[in-house]
Amino acid sequence: MARCRAKLIIFGSAREQYARVWDYGKALMKHNPGSGCNVVVDGIEQPEAPLFLRMFMCLRPLKDGFLRGCRPIIGVDGCHLKGAYPGQILVFVSKDGNNRIYPIASATCEAENKETWVWFLESLMQTLGSVDESGLTFMSDKQKGLVKSFSQVVPEVETRFCVRHIWANFKLKFTGFVFKELFWSAARATTQLEFEIPMQQIKELDEEAFDYLNKIPTVHWCRHAFSENCRSDMLLNNMCETFNAVIRDVRDKPILTQMEWMRRYMMRINNEKWEDSKEITTNLTPYVHKLFQRMSYVSRNCIVQAARDDTYEVQLKDDQVLVDLGNRSCSCNHWQLTGLPCIHAFACIMDERAVAEQYVHPYYSMATYRAANELAIQPMAGPKHWDRVTHKGASATSHQGAAWEAQIEEKKIGTW
């Protein structure tokens, strides 16, 4: 009880904060014009005050920064609220050229189901505008209703499933170290042959285990079947897990305290990245330089044989691959997946005494990294300075205009 009293003194009444979500949305879009804010309530036409259901927030600097400077891969996840009012926080998170998390949008909703996921995805796509959905990749943990929501809202996107989540379900039926090694070897395989070898071994051990994995389309969990659009070979949804860990301490706070904490966090990270980028004088991000530094030691074990023009044969241990520097490809498929030269290609670049930077995809350049963080998230005044919005007067959302028009939808579903 003492803890509850202290929270009431520090953060204020949760009831009062729910009553001012429209005021907050108006202030958010006033100070960051073009941002997306979507509020859903229940019972707007009733005499008593409507009940809050959901709120979506996407700041325009982050939206534009994602479109201008991030790889088109988006992690999707949700986590539970811990306060007196149960619910979920849903997030969209990407990664920038320095391999750091890049939050795009978040929402607080009443539950995690197909309806809320459809609403969340529709809010994001409306905010992003005329983006080609076939060029996007979504990664998730196959939450309840999410897979069907993808097919309904964004049917053309590439979808990946977090392999850790698949393994967690797989090991409940098929335990043992051998199954674990073979499963992860199949998931990490970047060529069809490398994938078929561990899968055949799983089939010999237990045909039921093979059938279990064979029912999951390889495009969702195996590197060799991933498209090259997003230039990422990620198997785990770590970007969302990292962001959920960041907001862990705010999940028991009232609604506007949550929203403000996340907005300030995004503003702080955006500013820190921008200030750090000013001190970097290289053409590539620090992440790439660290990767190349590690490669320089391993590449000494490669035996490089030039063929003609920019083609090479490269031997590393018991493996031999074909590298084509002109087409920026390697038969191991790592280069095509990530946009970064693999160890075999790096050995060829060093043998040719070329500059490795010219073989790196623009996603990892400092120019692209700065473009992702160039637009500043503008500061906001406190609640005492927010304009009042009455629910009778607000009707529709303008995601592009500078003026505030709060979207309020009447829902005939249960309250919380």
pLDDT interval class at 411 (50, 70, 90): very low
How many residues are given for the chain?
A: 416
Q: Encode pLDDT of 251-272 as tens digits.
A: 888 888 888 999 999 999 999 9
Q: Encode pLDDT of 161-210 as tens digits.
A: 999 999 999 999 998 999 999 999 999 999 999 999 999 999 999 999 99
Question: What does the mean pLDDT of the chain come to?
Answer: 86
pLDDT, mean of residues 138-146: 84
For the chain, domains (ranges, CATH) are: 2-162+236-278+389-410 (3.30.420), 174-228 (no CATH), 286-364 (no CATH)
Number of other residues whose CB lies within 10 A of the CB of residue 60: 19
pLDDT value at residue 141:
86
Give every CB contact of residue 182 below 8 A, 6+ residues apart in sequence: 198, 199, 201, 202, 205
205 exposed, middle or buried (CB, 10 Å; 0-12, 13-18, 19+)?
middle
Q: Encode pLDDT of 202-261 as tens digits.
A: 999 999 999 999 999 999 999 999 999 899 999 999 898 888 888 888 888 888 888 899
Higher pLDDT, 22 or 364: 364
pLDDT interval class at 305 (50, 70, 90): very high
pLDDT interval class at 9 (50, 70, 90): confident
Tokens of residue 375, six digits:
């637009």
> What is the C-alpha to C-alpha distance for residues 408 and 391, in angstroms, rounded to an integer?
8
DSSP 8-state assignment for residue 216: S
pLDDT, mean of residues 128-137: 84
pLDDT value at residue 177:
93
pLDDT interval class at 12 (50, 70, 90): low
Helix/strand/coil percentages in the chain, nearest 5 = 45, 15, 35
pLDDT, mean of residues 276-291: 93
Cα angle: 408, vertex 128, 55; to 5 degrees: 30
pLDDT interval class at 133 (50, 70, 90): confident
Q: Encode pLDDT of 42-60 as tens digits.
A: 877 776 777 888 899 999 9
Q: Encode pLDDT of 75-106 as tens digits.
A: 999 888 887 777 889 999 999 999 999 999 99
Give which of 98, 21, 5 is closest to 53, Cα–Cα: 21
Q: Encode pLDDT of 354-405 as tens digits.
A: 999 999 999 999 999 999 999 999 999 888 888 887 754 333 332 322 233 3
pLDDT value at residue 129:
84
Residue 139 predicted with pLDDT over 60 = yes
Q: Which residues pair with 51 in a beta bridge?
A: 42
Give which of 156, 79, 161, 148 is closest to 118, Cα–Cα: 148
pLDDT value at residue 391:
56
Contact (CB, 8 A) for 344 and 332: yes
Higher pLDDT, 2 or 332: 332
